[in-house]
Structure 1
Amino acid sequence: MTQTTQTPREVKDSLLAAIEPHVPFDGWTEAAFVAAVRDSGVAPAVARGICPRGAVDLAVHYHKKGDEEMLRRIRAADMGEMKFREKVAAAVRFRLEAVTDREMVRRGATLFALPNYAADGARAVWDTVDAIWTALGDSSDDINWYTKRATLGAVYSSTVLYWLGDDSPDYARTWAFLDRRIEGVMQFEKFKAQVNKNPLLKPLFAGPSWALSWVKAPTRVPEVDLPGSWSEPRN
């Protein structure tokens, strides 16, 4: 049996490595999770304690590891001369290129399409696009923080679905599709800027703009491996 002195992250990594050969055939299912526990040598009680939802928790962990690899590639890339839209496209491409087995993602898309796990899927996509915007230096703290992520989330999700069915060499059609989607977003952003500069149209949006100005981005809290946090009491 695997030593229980492993951290929860290490146990998840062991289980994920063990479940990968089973997912293409069985999906992210209980049967695949049981096989992973058996093959990994992790004690069943430990596996269930760290992954109470079994394969679902491993599917989420698999997605997070893909995000981590994407961020590593972003940090290693030379994007100094790129236009911003090119940086966004490169980040999405890095995320898809981080996938070692497309069938793992296909099975994950099926899992997260189920009503019980749709929220997990939405959160996974949101975390991915949030990681992209943060890595690219987004400093917005108002409604734009949300709209940027929602817009990129739609681009990312549609690109993943296109990529899953793409059989072109080196996924050439997927990258062309991605470029078209991002170009569409940029055109919409240009339209918004033109509206804000137009003296006839700007007053029409004054009320909604004032209301939306009160929307603020969530406060960033550093991640710590502790059960709680403490702050200085106010006088």
Structure 2
Amino acid sequence: MTTRAVQSRLHCVAAPRRYHSYDHPPPPPIFSAAESAILSAAYAHVPEHGFTQRALSLGARTAGYPDISISVLPEGVFSLIKYHLVTAREGLAPRKVSVLGGTENSQLIPIPERVELLTWERLQANGAVNHRWQEALAIMAQPSNIPGALHELALLVDEIYHLSGDTSVDPSWYTKRGALSLVYTSTELFMTNDRSPGFQETRAFLQRRLNESDSLGWAFGSVRQWVGFTASAGVNVLRSKGVRI
């Protein structure tokens, strides 16, 4: 089967529309239905093979596509990492009630605690691939992938604050998201070396960092400052893994 024929097959099926903002029309789908099928199947091979071309090839076969199909994934192996980031982020909303309880119960929980619970829930989604996540960080550090990785980080922290019920529209909107970006990336990195049962040490690390995050508030006063901080925080975390950027 030629590459053109594979492309035609991959894009002929429309994917379900995905939502990020709850107040605006849905954006275009991130993955087509066929891409989702390949990436979903490939993701099952990540624990054994990592975020690699091998996992993608096995996923294509499992989904009923020839190996050449992976050549039309626009971002190669990063597409598999993005699939994890997107599905883990989108999985938070359906689990909100189980994490925070019903509406009445959740209203009794202070917003900072809700943020912690939701952040921890998201981090636990890394559990099955945690031993492969340092590889993923190295791939995300490649210049062509950094914008996409940072964009997903921004979407994640925005989703966490939305689900927490935070409705602030003052300058704290930026400070909170900037601080959580730093806390999340540092905790995610810590987790890759955590061997404690149930990642208990990571949970304690997260709680400490969130308690310290108020001191970061002065650093963020505008969109530009927040975006700049998010970018530098993400890059510095990746550099700390020895990745050259």
TM-score (norm 2): 0.67
CA RMSD, aligned part only?
3.4
Check 1:53–1:43 CA distance in 2 against 1; reply closer, same or farther (3 A cut). same
Corresponding residue for residue 185 of structure 1: 213
Q: Which residue of the partner structure matches residue 41 of structure 2?
A: 18
Query: Aligned partners of 1:161 and 1:95: how far apart in 2?
Result: 14
Range 10-19 or range 88-97, more displaced: 10-19
Listed one character per residue, the Cα deviations across residues 14-61 of structure 1 (whole Å, up to 9, x for unaligned) are: 212321244345432334323322232135676544x22222122112
- Counterpart residue number, 1:153: 181
TM-fit CA distance, 1:93: 0.7
Bigger Rg over Cα? 1
Q: Does 1:93 align with 2:120?
A: yes
Work out the percentage of aligned pairs sharing the same amino acid. Answer: 26
Of the three residues 32, 36, 39, the one matched with 2:62 is 39
State the shift of 1:104 in Å: 4.6
1:57 aligns with 2:89: no
8 Å CA contact retained: 1:69, 1:98? no
In structure 1, list runs of 5 or more residues that go unmatched: 193-208, 218-235
- Consecutive aligned runs of 4 or more in structure 1 exceeding 6 Å deviation: none
Does the 8 A contact of 2:38 with 2:60 survive in 1? yes
After alignment, is 55-64 or 113-122 more displaced? 113-122
Unpaired segments of 5 or more residues in structure 2? 1-5, 16-30, 227-245
**AA at the equivalent of 1:96:** L
Structure 1 residue 129: Cα displacement: 0.6
Change (3 A) 1:213 1:128: closer
| Superposition map of 1:216-227 within 5 A | none
Asked if structure 2 preserves the Cα contact closer than 8 Å seen for 1:142 and 1:213, the reply is no
Measure, in 1, the Cα distance between the counterparts of 2:94 and 2:32: 18
Asked if 1:130 is matched to 2:158, the reply is yes
Residue of 171, 176, 179 corresponding to 2:199: 171
Deviation at 1:179, TM superposition (A): 0.9
User: For the structure 1 residues 113 and 47, does the alpha-carbon distance in structure 2 shift closer, same or farther, using more than 3 Å as the test?
Assistant: closer
Partner of 1:204: none
Distance 1:188 1:44, change over 3 A: closer
TM-score, length basis structure 1: 0.70
**Structure 1 residues 213 and 160: CA distance shift in structure 2, 3 A:** closer
Q: Using the alignment, how far apart are the partners of 2:126 and 2:36 within structure 1? A: 16
AA aligned opposite 2:172: N
Give the 3-state SS of the residue equivalent to 2:190 in structure 1: helix
Partner of 2:134: 106
Structure 1 match to 2:111: 84
Measure how far apart 1:148 and its partner are.
1.6
